Amino acid sequence: MSILASFPTLVLHLHSGPSPALETEWLGFTGSKDFRRYLTAALELARQHRVRGWIANDQLLGAVRPTDLRWVAEHVLPTLAELGVVRFARLEAQETLNRMLIGHMYQNVTPALPLQEQSFADLTSARTWATELASPFTA
């Protein structure tokens, strides 16, 4: 695992191998402008490294505005599918309301996309699952 980029509230990790994955490690609350800028950078790095897995480590992510959640649903997640990401692992935010809002957004959006989404309680399991060779047709 290597660090591809580091921002004040986000670290982007690359998990190399036959099925590379990008990990977003949120370190705390991020305002809307930076939230979108950081995720746009993450998408570009995912494109460059041809990742097939994505690990959203949202454990320390602070509150996310509803407009930013809509942007993730309408822009980020469909772009991941277009890039060929087939496994989306997520570690839920520790903050209860944030966990519920983000979880609801994923439940509404990911079933319509050609990627597998799964929640994990620990980072090691999320990383292992996201970096396994996967096709959109296997569980």
Tell me the fold of 2-131: Transcription Regulator spoIIAA (3.30.750)
User: Residue 133: what pLDDT?
Assistant: 67
Q: In 3-state terms, what secondary structure has residue 23?
A: strand
Helical (H) or strand (E) element with 36 = helix 32-48
Q: How many C-beta neighbours within 10 Å does residue 40 have?
A: 13
CB distance 116 to 139 below 8 Å: yes
pLDDT surpasses 50 at 4? yes
Q: Which residue has the higher pLDDT, 38 or 111?
A: 38
Query: Is residue 51 within 8 Å of 43, Cβ to Cβ?
Result: no
43 contacts: CB under 8 Å, gap ≥ 6: 76, 79, 80, 83
pLDDT tens digits, one per residue of 70-125: 999 999 999 999 999 999 999 988 888 888 888 888 888 988 899 999 999 999 99
Neighbours of 75 (CB within 10 A): 14
Task: Tell me if 80 sits within 8 A of 73, measured CB to CB.
Answer: no
pLDDT band for position 137 (cuts 50, 70, 90): very low
pLDDT band at 135 (very low <50, low <70, confident <90, very high): very low
